[in-house]
Structure 1
Amino acid sequence: MDLGLTVGDELERIDAADGRYAFLELSIGDSFLPPTSIDRDRLETALDGRDLYVHLPFDQPVVTHVQELNEAIVDYQTRLLSWAGDVGARKAVLHGTTADRDDVDLRERFAEQLSVVVDAGERAGVEVVVENVGHQHHGVQLSVLGEVAREVDAPVCFDVGHAYMEAGNDGITRFLRSHGDRVTHLHVHDARRRGDTHIPVGAGEIDYEILSEQLSGFDGSVAVEVFTDDAALLWDSGRRVRDRLTPGSTTSDEKGSS
């Protein structure tokens, strides 16, 4: 298991990240950090041997009712994936969204669009993982996302906090029972149903023992997505999750320990 950290769209947060993380997940795109603005030597120096993952932009949905827009979305994501591949990124996170998640007709078109973007990632040497955001207005519901991912053979980035906000601990369990085999990347943080989210693991209401039960021995990647710059809190959140996924593990100062 590789343990990493989301760093938003700031290269300075890569500089400041604890050296024990195996990878850092950087948000790219014109609404975040445009790739054209990134000095590759500066990026490589900041990573200091750690792997790079990227988070693709989510201002636009994956699919709309307008075919010309759909084609433009694919072209844009393909261009970003090509850049990601050129700089050696291993994974790219894509929010699972549509212009209208209640429109049944868009489900098939969402599947088509997702399949094309995943294929573009494969050509670039980057694994595209689709993330659950069903708690948001345009986010595809958990059950639908799992079915579509299986249909088009797409890996999943399972955001535990998002799933809790959408469907509670029971929803986390149901998804992982049905689609845990598709999960290759996790976003971890805690949340409360009153609206608090992206808080340190252990500070909220999520039952992380569910991961012990459903994903024990997980050999994918785990990104801590807690909105704080407190290095100790960030590492503690990752350690707590790692220990649930790898029974018997202990804290280590080695990079990406598991």
Structure 2
Amino acid sequence: MDLGLTVGDSLERLEATAEGFDFVELSIGESSLRPTEVEDDRLRTVLDDVDADLCVHLPFDQVVSTPVTQLNDAIVDYLSELLEWAGTVGARKAVLHATMRNPHDTGQRPVFAEQLSAIAAAGDDAGVEVVVENVGHQARGLPLSVLGDIARDTGTAVCFDVGHAYMENDNDGIRRFLGDHRDLVSHLHVHDVRGRGDTHLPLGAGEVEYGLVADALSGFDGTVAVEVFTDDVPLLRDSARRAAEYLDDSR
């Protein structure tokens, strides 16, 4: 298991917080770090300085699928360009939010599946594993069970965001998804949450039962990104330590 850190779109935050982590997850694209605005050599130097591999988070401003074919084609083209760039700078994985214009329109779900397959194939071409993330607590996010079924049908790996699952359906949502789909999970986002709406808290500061995650994913050999919204390095490292204690018996 590799333990990493989400760093948003900031190379400065990457430099300041990522030392000691196995990888970083960098947000790219619209409203984030645009490949045309960053010098690839600088990114490689920063990663070398902190001795970390790279994963990326694809943009979340636009949805993955709409009822309009031309828009869907443009979305795939745009994300394919980002994935191609990510491959050139050595990114291992790319996180994609599971969103569509109307996630409750069951007739459009096959279109989402087609879009997801095309984006994942573009990732394969670039040498980057696309992992689709649960965001069912958001207005345009697919429900957990629907995402799991589509990911299985399309053969797409999952980024399971533990806090998002809690926000959608409490600890029962975590238990059910991992009970049915744990074999699809390649990447984890870990943070804590309180039911009143506080999220992306340090592990142990909220209401998520991480023992459920440990029971389902003990010995997990994928990637785990700490997604705690702070630049306090001791807090970040403590969350990483807690995640390791839950998931990796060898540490």
TM-score by length of 1: 0.95
> Which residue identity is paired with 1:220?
G
Kept in 1, the 8 Å contact 2:18–2:24? The answer is: no
Counterpart of 1:43 in structure 2 is 43
The AA in structure 2 aligned to 1:211 is V
Which residue does 2:219 correspond to in 1?
217
Specify the code of the residue in structure 1 equivalent to 2:38. Answer: I
Aligned 1:1-258 pairs, distance under 5 A: 1-48=1-48, 49-247=51-249, 249=251
Check whether the contact 2:162–2:189 (CA below 8 A) recurs between aligned residues: yes
> Alpha-carbon deviation of 1:247?
2.8
CA RMSD of aligned residues (A): 0.8
Deviations 1:11-70 (A, max 9, x none): 101111242100000000031111011111110111113111000001110000100000
CA distance in 1, matches of 2:151, 2:30: 26
> C-alpha distance in 1, partners of 2:208/2:66?
33
Deviations 1:99-124 (A, max 9, x none): 00110111110000000000000000
2 CA distance for matches of 1:100 and 1:111?
A: 14
Secondary structure in structure 2 of the residue aligned to 1:191: coil
Counterpart secondary structure, 1:199: coil
Give the secondary-structure state (helix, strand or coil) at the position aligned to 1:106: helix
Counterpart Cα distance in 2 of 1:68 and 1:105: 18
User: Residue type of the partner of 2:223?
Assistant: S
Cα pair distance change 1:75/1:248, threshold 3 Å: closer
Deviation at 1:248, TM superposition (A): 5.6
* 3-state SS in 1 of match to 2:149: helix
> 2: distance between equivalents of 1:69 and 1:146?
25
Deviates more, 1:168-177 or 1:238-247: 238-247
The amino acid that maps onto 1:194 is R
- Name the residue aligned to 1:255: none
Residue identity matched to 1:25: E
Counterpart CA distance in 1 for 2:108 and 2:236 is: 38
- TM (normalized to structure 2)? 0.98
CA distances 1:66-98 after superposition (whole Å, capped 9, x unpaired): 000000000000000000001110000000000
SS in 1 for 2:91: coil
Cα deviations by residue, 1:200-257 (Å, 9 ceiling, x for unpaired): 00000000001111000100000000000000000111110111112362xxxxxxxx
Distance in 1, Cα, partners of 2:245 & 2:213: 10
Comparing 176-185 with 9-18, which one deviates more in the overlay?
A: 9-18
Residue 253 of structure 1 corresponds to: none
Q: CA deviation at 1:164?
A: 0.2
After TM superposition, the runs of 4+ consecutive aligned structure 1 residues lying more than 6 A away are none
CA contact (8 A) 2:56 2:86 kept: yes
1:19 maps to a residue whose letter is E
Point out where structure 2 has 5 or more consecutive residues left out of the alignment: none
> Unmatched 5+ residue regions in structure 1?
250-258
SS, match of residue 25 in structure 1: strand
Structure 2 letter corresponding to 1:245 = L
Q: Distance in 2 between matches of 1:133 and 1:92?
A: 15
Distance in 1, matches of 2:214 and 2:9, equals: 31
